[in-house]
Amino acid sequence: MKHARMLGFTRTLPPDSHTSSPEHLRSMTRLPGRASRQCARSRSASLLIASLLLLSACGGGGGGEASEGTGSPNLSTSSSSGGTVSTPDTQPPSAPDAPAYSGLTATSVLLRWGGASDDRGVAAYDVYRDGRFLGSVSSNTLVYLDVSVSPNTTHRYQIKARDAAGNLSPASAELAVLTPPLAAVRDTQPPSAPGSLRATQISQSSLSVAWLPASDNTGVAVYDVTLNGVLIATLGSTASNYTASGLRAATAYTIAVHARDAEGNASLAATIQVSTTVAVAPPSGSSSSSSSSSSSSSSSSSSSSSSSSSSSSSSSSSGGKSSSSSSSSSSSSSSSSSSSSSSSSSSSSSSSSGGAPAPVTTLSYVDFDNGSLTPAGWTIGAQQGGSIVVSSDKARNHGGSNGSLKATYPMATAGMYAWAEYNLAPLNTRDVYIEFDVRIPPDAGGRTPGSAKFLKFFGQASSDGYANTTFGISGDAGQVGSLTYIGFGDGTNMENDVANVIFLNGTEPTWIGRSYGKASVYNRGTYWNYWDWKDQWHHFRVHAKFHTSTYNTATKTCVAEVNDGEYYLEIDGVTFVDARGLFNHRCSNPPLSRVTLLDWGGGTFGPFEINLDNIRVTTGGFVSGPKKH
């Protein structure tokens, strides 16, 4: 696992993702019904003439009322009359590779094998022990944890592949395993729950999730992924992400991840509730498209919030496996309030380049006045002793409103304690604006304790590197609690968000990588210091834009890059940084995937709190007017 580190910050970089479909559909073979029976009653002197009449009346075997029955999926081929003729799938898959074991105890065997192939796709793998069927796993799952073996016994395993028609492959080569004698003391301690389970991609038909590794005294063996309580995948011990596909649009799903050790001890579940996006009918003459549930329109009064993309929360602990869940889970809901939790609206504002006015579209506006932790398009959660709730204390809410978001950081160790994350992936955009009200109360000594990756824009990774961006509260001595820098990866290496840094006070101008000498960076010349927070609300406006680029996927080269990337930070109407002319991603990096508030915390200065209210995410500019330069 790779880590990015700067100013006391560490973040684990995700490995490659895993993809599968949880729904395996069987075709229904439709046999001739009423027409068949009518044709059968035909009386003809000649069998040949009867056959010809039957073929003509039945349309070559089609039409008529279907009789019930299940059978093999059919392959459609063109007929001479211009229709289709279905042929059954009778070809079995190839034999899977020989299994091997990667974990072994007196009562368990962890198997792995190589996949089989099939002309229409493998649907599942069947596991056999000592010649008897043991269980099945889905086609993307190439591991199986057998926890019912006998100690000091030789067991023999084989694997068979199965397609959707039920055709079984030849058996794999046999694996003989001798289990060790039963130990005097068995491992009964389960792993910790996977950490920080969150949605990373949401579409009409798929949901991608990622998590932080679980820990175990003897080592994690597998991760089990369930969808609405049904096991859809078992992944290896190094897995940290998964994509469930083949889902229904505009539907809420509960995804849970358990860790298991080699003894079969299962952790508490890390759970997230997420809704797929809504399918929208295409305009006349255009191809079909989808619209995220996080961008559904609503009026300014008595409007109903969209289907929620839910909050996530993990039942993990920071230091041991026996601690209970301290997460903040929430369910998908739809509620009415005087202000929408997510809206899509347009107005006019100056464009980011200072030219003609461009339309401003509000992707999401959340004021938490309806008390919900599940605004559409957002994932909100906490772990490791952190907490995140909707505050009902009007005296502590912005403007005495009915609600605000309150996150607390216990600061036992550095790590991720709370997050509020908006999914940008369906927009396919490289340009986004966010404004919000924030309050960070000081400690008894008047200092804002701890440090935090206060605001992050995630640009995902490519084979070249990362393009994530961080607006960071410092943990350095003398600057603890001060908003000091904008750090970003420009895609040239695997440094997460610290390959390039723009300091708010104007120092270290060379630390902006390949943008140096090409970028124009305005700095106010001072940090937003810890004493500037006081015990008051402050209004932030932030703009992040990736530079223009073109990537040739065939040659895997950058065809054109224009240094027109931008970062902008404004606090209480005062511009602190206005950076233009940046190379701030790589042409091979995907567009912006999400924007996250709160995120990672660290330091040794005790617990602290962050309050958020009136969060608005837009494209095309700020709703409150043009940038102040």
Alpha-carbon span 455 to 463, nearest angstrom: 25
Ramachandran area for residue 35 (φ above 0: left; ψ -120 to 50: alpha; else beta): alpha
**What's residue 236's pLDDT?**
83
Range in 37-41, 88-92, 244-248, 527-531 with the lowest mean pLDDT: 37-41
Higher pLDDT, 33 or 615: 615
* 261 CB-side CA count, 13 A: 21
Ramachandran area for residue 517 (φ above 0: left; ψ -120 to 50: alpha; else beta): left
Alpha helix (H) residue ranges in 10-163: 34-40, 47-57
Widest pairwise Cα distance in the chain: 107
**What's residue 351's pLDDT?**
40
Cross-strand pairs, 311: none
Sorting pLDDT into bands at 50, 70 and 90, what band is 185?
low
Please give the full DSSP string across 358-393, using - where no structure is assigned: EEEEEEEEE--TT--S--TTEEEEE-TT-EEEEE--
| Spatial contact of 584 and 547, defined as CB atoms under 8 Å apart | yes
Question: Which pair of tokens denotes residue 181?
Answer: 């004698």
Please report, for residues 342, 363, 620, 623, the alpha-carbon distance to residue 358 in angstroms, rounded to integers and kept in the order given: 21, 15, 6, 11
Sorting pLDDT into bands at 50, 70 and 90, what band is 125?
very high
**What's residue 84's pLDDT?**
47
Q: Mean pLDDT across the chain, nearest whole number?
A: 73
**What's residue 169's pLDDT?**
94
Residue (of 599, 613, 597, 616) closest to 393 by Cα position: 613
Question: Which pair of tokens denotes residue 297?
Answer: 């329109």
The pLDDT tens digits for 293-314 are 333 333 333 333 333 333 333 3
Range in 490-504, 516-530, 581-595 with the lowest mean pLDDT: 490-504
The pLDDT tens digits for 339-383 are 334 444 444 444 434 445 558 889 999 999 988 888 888 989 888
222 contacts: CB under 8 Å, gap ≥ 6: 110, 143, 145, 234, 235, 236, 237, 259, 260
Alpha-carbon span 244 to 18, nearest angstrom: 9
Phi, psi angle pair for 150, to nearest 5°: -100, 145
219 contacts: CB under 8 Å, gap ≥ 6: 237, 261, 262
Higher pLDDT, 445 or 180: 180
| Spatial contact of 74 and 86, defined as CB atoms under 8 Å apart | yes
For a pLDDT cut of 90, what percent of the chain falls above it?
A: 21
Question: Which pair of tokens denotes residue 388?
Answer: 């995140």
Residue 50 pLDDT greater than 50, yes or no: no
Sorting pLDDT into bands at 50, 70 and 90, what band is 86?
low
**What's residue 357's pLDDT?**
55
Q: How many residues does the structure list for the chain? A: 629
Cross-strand pairs, 88: 74
| Spatial contact of 214 and 240, defined as CB atoms under 8 Å apart | no
Alpha-carbon span 318 to 195, nearest angstrom: 9
Range in 41-50, 420-429, 485-494 with the lowest mean pLDDT: 41-50
Residue 569 pLDDT greater than 90, yes or no: yes
- The two beta strands, 154-163 and 3-6, are unpaired
Q: How confident is the model over 54-78, as a mean pLDDT?
A: 37
The pLDDT tens digits for 422-473 are 988 888 889 999 999 999 887 666 666 666 777 888 876 677 777 888 888 8
Q: How confident is the model over 11-24, as a mean pLDDT?
A: 35
Higher pLDDT, 413 or 332: 413
Within 66-166, strands assigned E span 74-78, 84-88, 100-104, 109-112, 122-129, 132-138, 143-146, 154-163
**What's residue 390's pLDDT?**
94
Higher pLDDT, 558 or 163: 163
Phi, psi angle pair for 359, to nearest 5°: -65, 140
36 contacts: CB under 8 Å, gap ≥ 6: 58, 64
Alpha-carbon span 420 to 425, nearest angstrom: 16
**What's residue 502's pLDDT?**
92
Residue 628 pLDDT greater than 90, yes or no: no
The pLDDT tens digits for 202-229 are 888 888 888 988 888 888 888 989 888 8
| Spatial contact of 168 and 162, defined as CB atoms under 8 Å apart | yes
Higher pLDDT, 224 or 28: 224
- The two beta strands, 600-602 and 415-416, are antiparallel
* 48 CB-side CA count, 13 A: 0
Sorting pLDDT into bands at 50, 70 and 90, what band is 44?
very low
Ramachandran area for residue 246 (φ above 0: left; ψ -120 to 50: alpha; else beta): left
| Spatial contact of 123 and 81, defined as CB atoms under 8 Å apart | no
**What's residue 564's pLDDT?**
92
Range in 116-120, 455-459, 464-468, 501-505 with the lowest mean pLDDT: 464-468
Q: What is the dihedral of CA 370, 375, 380, 385, to 10 degrees?
A: 20
Sorting pLDDT into bands at 50, 70 and 90, what band is 565?
very high
